[in-house]
A and B are shown apart, each in its own frame.
Chain A
Amino acid sequence: MPAADLARLASIARDCRVQIIRMLTHAGSGHPGGSLSVIDLLTTLFFARMRHDPRRPDWPDRDRLVLSKGHCVPALYSVMAKAGYFPESQLITLRKLGSPLQGHPDRIMLLGIEAATGSLGQGFSIAMGMALGLRLEGRPSRVYCVVGDGETQEGQVWEAAMSAPKLGQPDHPLDNLCVILDYNKVQLDDFVKKVLDLEPVLEKWKAFGWPVIEIDGHDLAQIDKALDQAEAIKGRPTFIVAHTVKGKSVSFMENNPEWHGKAPKPQEAIRAIREILGVTEDDWTGYLERNPETAAVVKELEALEKK
């Protein structure tokens, strides 16, 4: 991918991180850690990879994304808003009564959501079935499924893992399916290693018959290249192990189980946004004067504190 495109993606991912912090703070609850770990993957998928049209969310030939780790839907909402599925102003209705932005994805309330997820372990099977159905229908669509690391402790994931490389063979192999592990090493209660270690991850998936690609899930060039490779593999679905950092880009959230499922307070959110944007404390006031959009977000958060 050319440097200019990478820079564009990095800029979008940065904006989306700001929006994730913003909407979670307004909601007062939700899951920042995993949303920040998955956002570079979703940004690359939505803005460099998937064939989709926000004006036609039901376009039959669209590529699909099933976010099996449904609790990280704020990340998905942020890229959807950025892509034009709905106005970014709507993001702060997250989790509020009457909002289509449910706490976990709802396929009917928000067009563009492909499946209801959030009960962990289920999205992967749905994505497989979709990939099979699209093959049977002769459609060109690809299906991407993002699973969480803690999520793969669910038994259904391994039913699906054992099945997907064989399903549809020989006439309709699921080489239109790409499953991505957001391997941020942290789950709700503690570090994955402490709760139930997944290792050796690569060997497990290889033993189940998957071509496995291992990448840094925050390196946009690596993500893009891995998705290219996955698309080139014929006859089988592909598994991408994306090593990520939970809470990526916010120092006090990074690699900290405490921030799995807790919304920041307004002052914490403002600090998080400053860190995401890479601005020092000294330069912050000047930065806000030069960037009215960020200033507006900050003002809105400060107002929240006074409520």
Chain B
Amino acid sequence: MPAKASRVAFGEALLELGAQDPRIVTVDADLSKSTMTAAFAKAYPARAFNVGIAEANMIGIGAGLALAGKIPFVCSFACFVVGRFETIRVSVAYTRANVKIVGTHAGIAIGEDGYSQMGLEDIACLRALPNIPIIQPADETETKQAVAYAVEHPGPLYLRLTRQNLEPVSPPDYRFQFGKAVVLRPGSDVTILASGGPLFNCLKAAEKLEGEGVKAEVINVACIKPLDEDLLVRSAGKTGRVVTVEDHSISGGLGGAVSELLAEVLPTPVRRLGIQGFGESGDPKGLYAKHGLDADGIARNVMKFLNR
């Protein structure tokens, strides 16, 4: 299976699901060619609504459509859609409107466009809201299953997707399960938790670490909210060291969620890898290297954390 951006896999999945379920509609804010709903819009023009560059209105319209029985996917860049936090907070979360919020272009991996286009705080914002689960799939297989799940999920949720291609990481028999994390590589010395963009690099890093005599357990935490508390606590108990890796601010994202969980349930040393400060323009690979999210950077930080 070739590498594919999760936004592309999302667009393909939506097109397929749209044929089976007439309740599915899309609402976009002039980015349908980037969020990849354009194919759905072409196939089902009467069910796709481009409301112009007006994300708050887009979200509100989504809420209304949901209250009238539709299953709307409201789509924009992660930073722009979650930037309308107060609208999500009242029109979607508090109203309990069955809106699927899709944020593409997550993280610094979007590259050259620079910070203003990067979704780097979206998980932190939505984690604070009751009633909105957060799902970040890591490859094509997982994305398509997550989109299918989103349609079935009885209530709002947030799908966090990438602009960049993602190498496959899921086993062939993979079944996405809401609220469940998956061990991709068992280990005993350190737990590496990640999802989405940097997950493939974590697996690469684990190979490097193996060469250094460190057995890293890599877990795909596709469901950032709610967390698979049992699996995470069990792994932390086994390894005694936890590293979180995310293309998101180190405040309030996966690292924040895991730290809160472990601090209360099983205090364990945690190292959060991710973005500190603002992002910047650059080529995606160079940016991952600079921010320590490539395989070398992850392996190096793990070794430092383990005092080796």
Check: A140 CB closer than 8 A to any chain B CB. Answer: no
B49, A132: Cβ atoms under 8 Å?
Answer: yes
Q: What 0/1 readout, one digit per residue, does chain A (110-138) give for beta carbons within 8 Å of chain B? A: 00001111110111111111111110110
CA A133 to CA B67, docked complex, whole Å = 8
The 0/1 profile, CB within 8 Å of A marked 1, for residues 38-67 of chain B is 000000001101011010110111111111
User: Is A155 an interface residue when CB atoms closer than 8 A count as contact?
Assistant: yes
Given A107-B95, A125-B61, A126-B95, 19 more A-B residue pairs with CB atoms under 8 Å apart are A115-B97, A118-B90, A119-B90, A119-B91, A122-B87, A122-B90, A125-B87, A126-B60, A126-B67, A129-B64, A130-B67, A132-B49, A132-B68, A133-B64, A133-B68, A136-B25, A136-B46, A160-B57, A168-B49
A243: Cβ under 8 A from any B Cβ: no
> Are A119 and B86 neighbours in the complex by a CB distance under 8 Å?
yes
Query: How far is A160 from B63 in the complex, measured between Cα atoms in Å?
Result: 13
List B residues at the A interface (Cβ < 8 Å): 25, 27, 46-47, 49, 51-52, 54, 56-57, 59-70, 72, 86-87, 89-91, 94-97
Flag whether A201 is at the interface (Cβ < 8 A).
no
Interface membership of A167, Cβ < 8 A: yes
In the complex, A137→B64 CA distance in Å?
13
Cα distance, A160 to B27, chains bound together (Å): 14
Instruction: With A116-B94, A129-B64 as known contacts, state yes or no: A156 contacts B25, CB within 8 Å.
Output: no
Report A153 CB to chain B, min CB distance, Å.
14
Majority-rule SS of B interface residues: helix
Contacts of A168 in B (CB 8 A): 49
19 A-B pairs within 8 Å (CB atoms) are namely A60-B69, A114-B67, A115-B91, A116-B90, A117-B90, A118-B90, A125-B87, A125-B91, A126-B60, A126-B67, A127-B64, A130-B68, A133-B70, A136-B25, A136-B46, A137-B69, A156-B57, A156-B60, A168-B49
Instruction: Give Cα A162–Cα B62 distance, bound, in whole angstroms.
Output: 17
- Report, nearest first, the 9 A-B pairs whose CB atoms are least far apart: A129-B64, A125-B60, A133-B68, A159-B57, A159-B54, A129-B61, A130-B64, A133-B65, A119-B90
Nearest CB on A from B132, distance (A): 14
A115-B95 in contact (CB<8A): yes
Chain A residue at minimum C-beta to C-beta distance from B55 = A159
Of A114, A155, A167, the residue contacting B51 (CB under 8 A) is A167
Residues of A in contact with B (beta carbons under 8 Å apart): 60, 106-108, 114-119, 121-134, 136-137, 139, 155-156, 159-160, 162-163, 167-168, 171-172
CB < 8 Å: which of A129, A137, A155 contacts B56? A155
How far is B89's CA from A127's CA once the two chains are assembled, in angstroms?
A: 17
Q: Are A162 and B60 in contact (CB under 8 A)?
A: no
CB-based nearest A residue for B49: A167
A163 vs B64: C-alpha distance when bound (angstroms): 14
Give Cα distance in the complex from A90 to B102, angstroms.
41
Cβ-closest chain B residue relative to A135 = B68
**B135 → chain A closest CB, angstroms:** 23
Q: How far apart are B8's CB and chain A's nearest CB, in angstroms?
A: 27
Residues of A within 8 A of B91 (CB): 115-116, 119, 122, 125-126
Find chain A residues with CB under 8 A from B94 CB. Answer: 106-107, 116
Scoring B27, B51, B68 by chain A CB atoms within 10 A of each residue's CB, the highest score goes to B68
**Residues on the B chain within 8 Å of A136, using CB:** 25, 46-47, 65, 68, 70
By a CB distance below 8 angstroms, the chain A residues around B27 are 129
Distance A121 CA – B60 CA, assembled complex (angstroms): 10
Q: Is the CB of B60 within 8 A of A160?
A: yes
A134 to B94 Cα, complex, angstroms: 22
Which one, A107, A121, A132, A155, contacts B64 given CB within 8 A?
Answer: A132
- B54 contact set on A, CB distance < 8 A: 156, 159, 162-163
CA–CA, A161 and B289, complex, Å: 46
CB atoms of B56 and A159 under 8 A apart: yes
- With both chains docked as a complex, state the minimum distance between the C-beta of A111 and any C-beta of chain B, in angstroms: 13
Q: How far is the CB of A133 from chain B (nearest CB, A)?
A: 3
**Which A residues lie within 8 Å of B56 (CB)?**
121-122, 125, 155-156, 159
Nearest-CB residue, chain B, relative to A157: B57
Given A115-B91, A116-B94, A156-B87: A126 touches B70 (CB 8 Å cut-off): no
| Alpha-carbon separation in the docked complex, A107 to B64 (Å) | 13
Contacts of B70 in A (CB 8 A): 133, 136-137
**Residues of B contacting A132 with CB < 8 Å?**
49, 61, 64-65, 68
Docked complex Cα distance between A133 and B91 (Å): 16
**Are A116 and B49 touching (Cβ within 8 A)?**
no
Q: Smallest CB-CB separation from B94: which chain A residue? A: A116
Measured between alpha carbons, how far is A125 from B49 in the docked complex, in Å?
13
Q: How far is the CA of A185 from the CA of B87 in the complex (A)?
A: 26
Please name all residues of chain A whose beta carbon is closer than 8 Å to the beta carbon of B72 when the two chains form the complex. Answer: 129
**Among candidates B25, B57, B95, residue contacting A116 with C-beta atoms closer than 8 Å:** B95
A128, B90: Cβ atoms under 8 Å?
A: no
Closest Cβ of chain B: how far from A184's Cβ, in Å?
23
Q: Check A128 against B60 for contact (C-beta < 8 Å).
A: yes
Assess the B61–A128 pair: CB atoms within 8 A: yes
Other-chain contact of B52, A108, A123, A139, A163 (Cβ < 8 Å): A163
In angstroms, how far is the closest chain A Cβ from the Cβ of B273? 36
Complex Cα distance, B83 from A155, in Å, reads 14
> Using Cβ atoms and an 8 Å threshold, which residues of chain B touch A172?
46
